[in-house]
């Protein structure tokens, strides 16, 4: 009996990882398609505005995680700033971008400490509170989604 449950759980593991890889790749492929279509969208120069000009740059390259707003060199602070709520909370710590949405309700120090960092560079607050403590830094690493664009 145990071996059949083990077999099922093993297949479940492979399925979950496979699903994650496939969805991640398909999201990246969608973004890549966005790059190639971007020049066609700008065939009407009159429609081009400064924001549109930046669009191919900000979505045109593949992000490290396949999330929207990624760039080859990383996410911009503007990208991060759009994720400034409990529904989607991104923060920047020491030049890296983290999606800490799922951590808000689990943070031992309370939700407010995380909510105050949403959409912002939280390097100073994080360093002040946790410094080089290994556990918070290990936890933080699990939420990494990319680097901050330079």
d(CA 96, CA 87): 20
Specify whether the CB–CB gap between 83 and 119 falls below 8 A.
yes
- The least distance separating other proteins from the CB of residue 43, rounded to whole angstroms, comes to 35
Q: How far is the CB of 38 from other proteins (least distance, A)?
A: 24
Q: How far apart are CA 23 and CA 27, in angstroms?
A: 6
Which among 120, 127, 125 is positioned nearest to 148, based on CA atoms? 120
Residues found near other proteins in the complex (CB under 8 A): 2-3, 5-7, 9-10, 12-14, 16-17, 20-21, 24, 64-67, 99, 102, 106, 108, 138, 141-145
CB of 6 vs other proteins, minimal distance in Å: 5
Nearer to other proteins, 65 or 123 (CB): 65
- Rank residues 16 and 52 by Cβ distance to other proteins and give the closer one: 16
Distances (CA, A) of 78 to 51, 70, 88, 91: 12, 11, 14, 11
- Taking the least distance from each CB to other proteins, the nearer of 12 and 124 is 12
């Amino acid at each position: 009996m145990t071996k059949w449950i083990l077999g099922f759980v093993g297949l479940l593991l492979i399925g979950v990882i496979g699903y994650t890889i496939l969805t991640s790749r398909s999201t990246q492929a969608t973004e890549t398609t966005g790059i190639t279509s971007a020049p066609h969208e700008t065939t009407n120069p009159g429609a081009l505005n400064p924001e549109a000009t930046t669009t191919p740059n900000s979505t045109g390259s593949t992000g490290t995680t396949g999330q929207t707003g990624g760039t080859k060199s990383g996410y911009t602070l503007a990208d991060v700033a759009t994720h400034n709520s409990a529904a989607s909370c991104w923060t920047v710590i020491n030049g890296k971008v983290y999606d800490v949405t799922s951590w808000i309700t689990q943070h031992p120090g309370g939700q407010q400490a995380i909510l105050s960092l949403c959409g912002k560079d939280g390097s100073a607050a994080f360093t002040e509170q946790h410094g080089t403590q290994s556990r918070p830094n290990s936890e933080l690493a699990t939420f990494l989604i990319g680097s901050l664009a330079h």
